Amino acid sequence: MKTFATLINALDSTNKTNLKLEALMHFLAEAEEGDKMWLLALFTGKRPKRNVNTALMRQWAMEIAGIPEWLFLESYSSVGDLGETISLILPAPEQYTERSLSEWMQQIATLDKATEAEKKTFVTEAWRSLTHTERFIFNKLLGGSFRLGVSAQTLINALARYYNMEANAVTHSIMGDWQMDAVTFDELVQGAYTDTQLSKPYPFCLAYPLEKEPEELGPVQDWQVEYKWDGIRGQLIRRNDEVFIWSRGEELITEQFPEIKAALLQWPVNVVLDGELLVFKDGQVLNFSALQQRLNRKNISAKMLQELPVVCFVYDLLELDGKDLRNLPIKERRSMLEELLRQYAGGPLMLCHTIAAVDWEALKSIRQESRSVNSEGLMLKHKDSPYHTGRKKGDWWKWKIDPYTIDAVLIYAQKGSGRRSAYYTDYTFAVRKGDELVSIAKAYSGLTDKEIQEVNRYINQHAIEKFGPVRTVKPELVFEIAFEGISFSNRHKSGVALRFPRIARWRKDKTAAEIDDIEEIKKMIR
């Protein structure tokens, strides 16, 4: 654990990419095989489920520290993170136990069958034998919520540099449905299992936001234009009579979309397709909120299949009968895709249509009206572009329409975590409903460091009530909230849910009397 703790401390202590790379390189050189495997497992989402209730952890920590609940809650409110709070309130370790990360993870995994008493003994003995930093990491691992303080690309670059490989080759090697006890770290990273995994997806080709005038891209005829849909991006893989569906977040979601799986099994060819999973009913794409009802379910009922039918708008062909097509220009891949779908398409597999326009002005008009078909804007893909690994500026652009915005007032605040644990940075906003305020969204981003400090001072001076780490704030600060979509929701007091809300700007020019009314906001829903 000591080597892993050193890595985590180094990653959290700097924002400089080069220093993060150095820390990762040092870990790769020093750590044992099992710990390096767990680094990859944690990075790719292969975490053990939570086997210890956090309420029990809190109770045990208060017993050991000998403090009352109110003092624990005050500490939690100040720190902003449960795992770190527990690690801080516990007394100094009575002894030190040296175990590797992999040894700790193996023991944590066995807790699913342990009694509460056995769990308490294991956890409290661990706390008594770990340093503060190692306790914090242990608590996060125990809760199943551990996050590495490093971007995906930085980790990929460190692995590529360590093994003297191309970064895109490393990305492809570590994706997929690999199991820790069936691979070795060196062979996994160096691609020994790449060709043997039927389920293995390709790294997704990603687009940059278009932040310049489209005319600067050259003739509009050089670009393949599609609607940008708000669904789940997925790779559909059919190899050797098996079908696998991967989300962009590298989650295997095949069983959540049985109609897509069944349709692809009817194809007589092996393919890898890239497309967007959407609820499509009566010839229309429905809001993302409809698709959300289909997600993360173990069983999809016949009623749900009928009421929320999912299709895949297919927009790229990456592999055909075992041949990797990604280096071909998209205009060639598109031609091959169109021929495939002419032969085999039907039901939920649909060709994503391209948009023709005589010039950029005409395309601007089409983009402006894209919400009428529940689209977020347009995708621009240069017709000569290959299917890149990750992002490569210049070939693919997402040209989104301007977000929706409303004016809302701050009513609740909570301190952040990590570097923001000293400041109130988690905000809840409300709008009017007659003479009362109803909460409508939480937002965490959009303010500068200077503005965060200013809001923090206001909250400290104008907090009305406190509920654990949450502060009720005098409703005076007005903010413009931007969001990508809106839908009706029974789970929110306001009756609506916002998609991707964030703070657009602080409206110091407005008072709480000028915020938006919920009935007017509901008129945005199509």
Most confident option among 108-112, 335-339, 439-443: 335-339
CA dist 336 and 273 (Å) reads 12
CA dist 178 and 193 (Å) reads 8
Most confident option among 66-75, 321-330, 460-469: 321-330
* Backbone dihedral angles phi then psi of residue 300, each to the nearest 5 degrees: -100, 115
Q: Is the pLDDT of residue 145 over 70?
A: no
Q: What is the mean pLDDT of residues 460-473?
A: 86
What is the reported pLDDT for 415? 83
What is the reported pLDDT for 12? 75
Instruction: State the Cα angle at 473 between 467 and 478, rounded to 5°.
Output: 145
- Place 281 in a pLDDT band, splitting at 50, 70 and 90: very high
What domains are defined for the chain? 2-143 (1.10.3260.10), 205-400 (3.30.470.30), 404-522 (2.40.50.140)
Specify the residue for token string 């059919």: 238
pLDDT in tens, 169-210: 787 788 766 777 778 888 888 887 766 677 888 889 999 999
Q: For this structure, is 16 an active site residue? A: no
CA dist 181 and 163 (Å) reads 22
Burial class (CB in 10 A: 0-12, 13-18, 19+), 98: exposed
**Residue bearing the bigger pLDDT, 392 or 506:** 506
What is the reported pLDDT for 397? 96
Nearest of 427, 406, 403, 437 to residue 522 by alpha carbon: 406
Q: What is the mean pLDDT of residues 205-218?
A: 94
pLDDT in tens, 286-316: 988 889 888 878 788 999 999 999 999 999 9
Q: Is the pLDDT of residue 473 over 90?
A: yes
- Place 38 in a pLDDT band, splitting at 50, 70 and 90: confident
What is the reported pLDDT for 431? 94
- Place 418 in a pLDDT band, splitting at 50, 70 and 90: low
CA dist 458 and 49 (Å) reads 39
CA distances to 301, 345, 490 from 306, in Å? 9, 20, 22
Most confident option among 18-27, 293-302, 507-516: 507-516
CA distances to 142, 176, 178, 180 from 48, in Å? 8, 17, 15, 12
Q: What is the mean pLDDT of residues 501-526?
A: 91
CA atoms within 13 A on the CB side of 452: 19
Q: What is the mean pLDDT of residues 151-158?
A: 80
CA dist 458 and 346 (Å) reads 59
Catalytic-role residue among 36, 119, 228, 261: 228
Q: Is the pLDDT of residue 95 over 70?
A: yes
- Global confidence as pTM: 0.69
Buried-state track 353-367, b at ≥16 Cβ within 10 A, e below 16: eebebeebeebbebb
Q: How long, in residues, is the chain? A: 526
User: Are the C-beta atoms of residues 188 and 55 closer than 8 Å to each other?
Assistant: no
| Non-local CB neighbours of 425 within 8 Å, separated by 6+ positions | 415, 416, 444, 447, 452
Using the 8-state DSSP alphabet, how is residue 470 labeled?
E
What is the reported pLDDT for 144? 65
Most confident option among 54-63, 340-349, 380-389: 380-389
Question: What is the average pLDDT score of the chain?
Answer: 87
**Residue bearing the bigger pLDDT, 339 or 167:** 339
Q: Tell me which long-range contacts 339-344 makes (C-beta under 8 A, separation of at least 24).
A: 340/269, 340/271, 341/314, 344/266, 344/267, 344/268, 344/269
